[in-house]
C-alpha cells in the first residue's frame, strides 16, 4: 500500500532489496490525491515497479467526514488532547 509519502518511500527502498514489488494506491477522496498519486508513480518509476494498481474508494467518505477529505473541516494544527 503506497500513499506516496515518506513512509512509502522508505518501505519501498527496504522492500526493493530482496523482493519484486507491486504497488497499491487508494484514492479515498483525500484533498492531497493529485500530489499523492504523482509521488506514488514517481516512486514506482524510480524502482521500476511494473505492477501498479490504483483503486478508487471515494465512496467511503460518505460514511463520515474527515479533514483529509472534507474541505469544510479545518485541518487540526494541535495534537488532540489526552484525557486524564
pLDDT tens digits along 5-50: 999 999 999 999 999 999 999 998 888 889 999 999 999 999 999 9
Q: Which helix (H) or strand (E) holds 8?
A: helix 6-15
**Does pLDDT of 51 surpass 80?**
yes
- The full length of the chain comes to 84
| Cell numbers representing residue 71 in the block | 474541505
Amino acid at each position: 500500500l503506497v500513499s506516496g509519502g515518506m513512509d512509502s518511500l522508505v518501505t519501498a527502498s527496504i522492500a526493493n532489496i530482496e523482493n519484486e514489488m507491486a504497488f497499491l494506491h487508494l484514492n479515498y477522496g483525500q484533498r492531497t490525491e493529485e500530489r499523492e498519486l504523482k509521488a506514488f508513480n514517481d516512486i514506482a518509476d524510480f524502482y521500476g515497479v511494473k505492477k501498479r494498481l490504483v483503486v478508487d474508494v471515494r465512496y467511503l467518505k460518505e460514511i463520515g467526514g474527515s479533514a483529509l477529505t472534507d474541505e469544510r473541516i479545518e485541518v487540526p494544527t494541535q495534537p488532540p488532547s489526552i484525557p486524564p
